[in-house]
A and B are shown apart, each in its own frame.
Chain A
Amino acid sequence: MSEPAAKASRWALWLPLGLFGLFVALVLYGLMRPASHDIPSAMIGKPLPEFNLPAAQPDRPGLKRADLATGKPRLLNIFASWCIPCAAEAAQLSELARQGVEIDGIAIRDHPEDLAGFLSRYGNPYARIGADDVSSVQLALGSSGVPETFVIDGQGTIRYQHIGDIRPDQIPLILQKLAEAGQ
């Protein structure tokens, strides 16, 4: 064997170990990275789908697509009375409503009595509440759980999706997304 060939084979000897090291690094990276179970909607930036939901409560109208394209950004909150994080989020929604944000709700698989109890207990920041008994609008929006909040701009385009409950420190973020949608 010639000299350069021997050198090359000596170098090649370390190649499997190097590959193994790379593999271990990849596995460690995958293990250390915090797992996210959020499933972002692929509908962000797209117009809202057409829908028309009946009223979930006698004192508030139902919700259809046209109600959300009013020329002004609005929040669309997907919630349910049986959802515990939704109760935790209610105070933040009330605060947003107090600051003049218009919020519409979609109640998922909810019983009217349960919903009435939930609203009287945690407050009712909603202008309209649509009843989605078979999650049809939720599925059409690409939403995969409750609560989720969408920022809808004046033309009825979905601009932002907030997955999970809105925490007190996230109110500025929501206001900022609403402002961006209004530009």
Chain B
Amino acid sequence: MNRFLAMILLLAAALPTPLHADDRLPPAPYAYRQLEDPAQEQQAQTLMQTLRCLVCQGQSIADSDAPMAGDMRNLVRQRIAAGEDPEAIRQWLIERYGDYVSYAPRIPSSTWPLFAMPLAILLLAFVLLRRRFSRPEETP
């Protein structure tokens, strides 16, 4: 029995213990807690899915477990609970981090050629194809 216990202790000691390079504080109040009002929580969720986690960069703050993403969720939820408009919160963050923080594309800025190009190419294709298909009728 004693040997059995010793073996278990030995096994437990051999298990890797996580190295804590991160903070020890509990997460912010609304990092992992939903808002009481389901409609407000829905608003917060929709917004959080389109805000970039600044320390993980490829994830939205809704998807990330980074402490800073938790703090950003806390900020979003508290402001929505206080009655702030989600787009105003997005704007507040854009004023601080630039367009980079938002996943929702904005057309008027430096990105308009991206949106205009497909339309221009479609139009060009339409004009070229029309000329090609109408040519045999003109020649005879």
Contact = CB atoms under 8 A, between A and B. Distances in A.
A39 B100 contact: yes
B24 A134 contact: no
B96 A41 contact: yes
Q: Indicate the size class of the contact surface on chain B.
A: 20 to 34
Interface in A116-156: 133-136, 138-142, 144-145
A73 B8 CA distance: 60
Nearest to B96: A142
A139 B24 contact: no
Contacts of A140: 96
Contacts of A37: 57
A142 B93 CA distance: 8
Given A136-B75, A139-B71, A139-B75, A110 B96 contact: no
B35 interface: no
Contacts of B94: 42
B28 A134 contact: yes
A39 B102 CA distance: 13
A95 interface: no
Interface residues of A, number: 25
A181 interface: no
B137 interface: no
Given A136-B75, A140-B96, A109 B55 contact: no
A39 B68 contact: no
Interface string A18-53: 000000000000000000010111110000000000
Contacts of A145: 54-55, 68
Nearest to B68: A135
B25 interface: yes
A39 B67 contact: no
A133 B55 contact: no
A159 B112 CA distance: 31
A114 interface: yes
B96 A141 contact: yes
A39 B93 CA distance: 13
A111 interface: yes
18 contacts: A39-B100, A39-B101, A41-B96, A41-B97, A42-B98, A82-B21, A82-B23, A82-B24, A111-B23, A114-B23, A134-B74, A134-B75, A135-B75, A138-B71, A139-B71, A139-B75, A142-B95, A144-B54
Given A42-B97, A139-B96, 7 more contacts: A39-B97, A39-B100, A82-B22, A110-B25, A138-B68, A144-B68, A145-B54
